[in-house]
Amino acid sequence: MAVEGEGNHLGSVYWRNSQTGQTEKHEISHIFVMTGADPNTSWLDGCIALDDKGFINTGLDLLPENLSAAGWPLTRQPYLLETSLPGVFAVGDVRDGSIKRVASAVGEGSAAVSFVHKALQE
């Protein structure tokens, strides 16, 4: 992929078909770039429940078998953003089912604080 423009204005984008090798030019004035779509969570494998793509399972996304395999020691179910490890929370892009936007991650972080306080009171 390549971009062209003048000054601070985007004018066109080139992209290449990875199967055919053909490059196309498109006149475009705006672009949204998403990076980090692959979670870097391999270091957590075996510590907390991950989905098949490596995203962290939290709250209602934790299946009974996830909790059983993790040895969930509490009688309550995990809080909304809590992982399979009690008192450990995950927010943002790394979480399975997240919206993958900065504003959402910030909101999740704010919500997680209230759950941290609940967990600390137990």
Interval 58-71: pLDDT, tens: 999 999 999 999 99
Predicted confidence at residue 105, as pLDDT, reads 86
Record the pTM: 0.70
pLDDT band at 34 (very low <50, low <70, confident <90, very high): low
Identify which of 4-13, 39-48, 75-84 has the greatest average pLDDT: 75-84
CA atoms lying within 13 Å on the CB side of residue 80: 14
Cβ atoms of 72 and 86 closer than 8 Å: yes
Structurally, what CATH architecture does the domain formed by 42-121 represent?
Answer: 3-Layer(bba) Sandwich (3.50)
Q: Find the mean pLDDT for residues 97-111.
A: 87
Query: Hey, where are the domains in the chain?
Result: 1-33, 42-121
